[in-house]
Chains A and B, each alone.
Chain A
Amino acid sequence: MKNATTALKLFLCMTVITGIFYPLVVWAGAQALFKGKAEGSLVRVNGVVAGSGLVGQKFSRPEYFWPRPSATGYDPMPSGGSNLSLTSAQLGAAVKERRKGFVRAEVPADLLFASGSGLDPHISPDAALIQCDRVAAARGVSKGDIIYLVNTVTEQRQAGFLGEPRVNVLLLNLILDGKYLK
């Protein structure tokens, strides 16, 4: 029984240290150094929270850039992917259907395949560029202006080599709304 009581004492000690003390210290550090990020990178429009800069939103209106397909319809509660495999007829049919939403024949893969989280905030630069015609027409501005905007918003690989080049759809659409009337 001595083992059991020692186990209980050490377990309680460790719970306080790793389960209460440790997350509180990280919380204090994160709040002091990166407050906005620690609280979800929320973005505000005229003081009202319009979403998180890291969490994708559903866009289907022509004047907005569209995000990737999502197995959860961009509902974060809960997040998740389709889990469909390449031999799934359902996936084949979904890809065919998604292709119809775009005029051009060559649609980048990220606009045809759903993301892992269902909340992917990004699309590839190619996926943004093929939508410029539509957005420009819907907003009545020149395509060149929109392409210029996409290029300025495009994030390169981090530190020059990590990850992939990408465009944050929500941030791009927020800039569009700020710059041009809907």
Chain B
Amino acid sequence: MNSQDAFQIFFYIVSLTLLALPLGSYLAATLEDKSRFQSRIFGPVERSIYRCCGINPGGQMNWKNYTASLLWFNFLGFLAVFLLQLFQHKLPLNPNNSGPVEPVLAFNTAVSFMTNTNWQAYAGETSLSYLTQMAGLAVQNFLSAATGVAVFAAMVRGLMGRKTSGIGNFWGDITRVTVRVLLPMSFCAALILAGQGVVQTFKPDSRVKTLEGVEQTIPLGPAASQIAIKQAGSNGGGFFNANSAHPLENPTPLSNFIEMLLLLLLPAACVFAYGKMAADKGQARILFSVMFAVWALGLAVSLYSEYSAASVTGGLGLMEGKETRFGIVNSVLWAASTTAASNGSVNAMHSSLSPLAGGAALFNIMLGEVIFGGVGAGMYGMLLFVLLTVFLCGLMVGRTPEYLGKKVEKREIQMVMAGILAPGAVILIGAALTCAVPAALASLSSKGPHGLSEILYAWSSASGNNGSAFAGLNANTSFYNIGLGIAMLIGRFAVIIPCLAIAGSMGVKSPSPPSAGTLPTDTATFGILLAAVIIIVGGLTFFPALSLGPVIEHLLMLKGVLF
């Protein structure tokens, strides 16, 4: 690592923080619908949407109504992507004559995009029509991100509410987030990306003859518009199979920087938006610091691991699976961020990272995608950990735990436990099941500990709604398509529903002023406790599995053992 590398990381961190702060204020104003400036610009579009759909955006919903609306809306998204894939050969905008997608694979991909996971069992350039990509996948890129922000907003309203069962209007939240935040961001980013060489065309793939006379197909399509929201909405599903390692999806170091910035921008902005909405910047500062610290720790471990791998390669930089234009530092910075952010796009193949760097990526996902996490999803997941920490501290001092002046009681803690334990249980049960099914083991591409890592990564990625992969694993089989599909559903909705239930039960409570026994939640002490709870829950749950995968692979690599 040289000074140029260090400067790139520094520049990334500074840009991210400086942009996330104002975007957080903007997002808070969107969610509270308080900004006159925003209403003036976007009001006309929104009003015509509301009129078209018969929506009263001010009509408050209780948590059950909010949840039902969300589930219907998501189910329709699933259905649309599923059907588009099955019938794409009969629909327009299919210049490359892609055939229908296998139903089981179509199920997996539809679930994957609805749940903001974007696991790629498909290869975009060979199996999907332009219509499926833009009107199916890209639409879910927007709407699943908007769903995440909506749940986050509803949860904050519940925490802040004073004896009210209303937690907002789901339709209004989805519309405002999409129209005011996601669309403008994506449009600007898409144009910059197109200027760097990301394709945006409806022409069929171009067949060329190379200088040495070989036929080569240059895949094309409306990629720039989709890549922008894929990065901004913590989706991560590539237009092409190689995702952002593909030179037509991420052609230059600048496009790489933009995509990498978008990857953490909205998740980080959500933290600052929380500070605004809760009228308590101290809370936001502590949460941001905790996220940043754990992210930086993962990055440091990964960098150390990548650069020290030179000792076993005979001094060579570990460039397997990485692109020349990005080099090692940008590949590792991306890997640490995309796994922290539940984005899951990749600009280097994670399976070929050095064992500990791959392990750090895996660990980031296992922590429950709360280190910035998905758009909205990271913050509502983080709030579950905050409530758990408050509860544990309450137990230690023997007082009823409180958060933002409200008592945290039995029902909330039951919901917190459900939301925190469900994804982890899916990872471990799924991985154990895979190890016991010979047909599932046949999909492995590696022997030894790396094979176990492939399995763990697949289940973690699905259940954490991340979507990146140790892609040596052949995941396009019925076992994985169905199993991982179910894991994605549980990983998404077994967190969302408890969060909305907490919003409902906290909203009807009335806050009381802090007393001498109240644990302040905006202090460094609380931050350290929170980080410890996150790492202990993640660490203790998965430590045995991780030690049999990445950790032992690292040790065997140092001894020169090959499989």
User: Closest CB-CB distance, B453 to chain A, in whole Å?
Assistant: 8
Q: Is there contact, CB below 8 Å, between A30 and B224?
A: yes
Q: Is there contact, CB below 8 Å, between B246 and A85?
A: no
B160 within 8 A of A: no
Q: A26-B194, A59-B212 are in contact. Are A18 and B138 (CB under 8 A)?
A: yes
User: Closest CB-CB distance, B433 to chain A, in whole Å?
Assistant: 23
Q: Is there contact, CB below 8 Å, between B211 and A51?
A: yes
Q: Is there contact, CB below 8 Å, between A42 and B206?
A: yes
Residue of A nearest to B45 (CB): A17
Residue of A nearest to B49 (CB): A13
User: Closest CB-CB distance, A82 to chain B, in whole Å?
Assistant: 7
User: Closest CB-CB distance, B79 to chain A, in whole Å?
Assistant: 9
User: Closest CB-CB distance, B290 to chain A, in whole Å?
Assistant: 29
A146 within 8 A of B: no
Q: Is there contact, CB below 8 Å, between B126 and A77?
A: yes
Residue of B nearest to A54 (CB): B247
A34 within 8 A of B: yes
B432 within 8 A of A: no
Residues of A within 8 A of B327 (CB): 163-164
Q: Is there contact, CB below 8 Å, between A11 and B80?
A: yes
Cα A34 to Cα B224 with chains together (Å): 12
Q: A39-B201, A86-B313 are in contact. Are A110 and B355 (CB under 8 A)?
A: no
Picked from B200, B242, B322, B324, the residue with its CB within 8 Å of the CB of A80 is B242
Cα A26 to Cα B331 with chains together (Å): 28
Q: Is there contact, CB below 8 Å, between A26 and B190?
A: yes
Q: A6-B53, A85-B446 are in contact. Are A40 and B206 (CB under 8 A)?
A: yes
Chain B positions within 8 Å of A, measured between CB atoms, are: 4, 7-8, 11, 49, 52-55, 65, 68-69, 72-73, 75-77, 80, 123-126, 134-136, 138-139, 142-143, 171, 174-175, 178-179, 182-183, 186-187, 190-191, 194-203, 206, 208-212, 214, 216-220, 222, 224-226, 228-229, 240-242, 245-248, 251-254, 256-257, 309, 312-313, 316-327, 330-331, 346-349, 351-352, 354-355, 358, 445-446, 448-450, 470-472, 553, 556-557, 561-563
Q: Which 4 A-B pairs have the closest CB atoms?
A: A163-B253, A116-B245, A83-B472, A19-B135
Chain A positions within 8 Å of B, measured between CB atoms, are: 3-4, 6-11, 13-15, 17-20, 22-23, 25-27, 29-31, 33-34, 37-42, 48-52, 54-61, 64, 68, 74-89, 91-92, 109-110, 112-124, 157-159, 161-164, 166, 170, 173-174, 177
15 A-B contacts (beta carbon < 8 Å): A3-B65, A11-B77, A13-B52, A18-B142, A19-B136, A26-B191, A30-B190, A40-B199, A40-B218, A42-B206, A74-B216, A77-B217, A85-B446, A86-B313, A87-B563
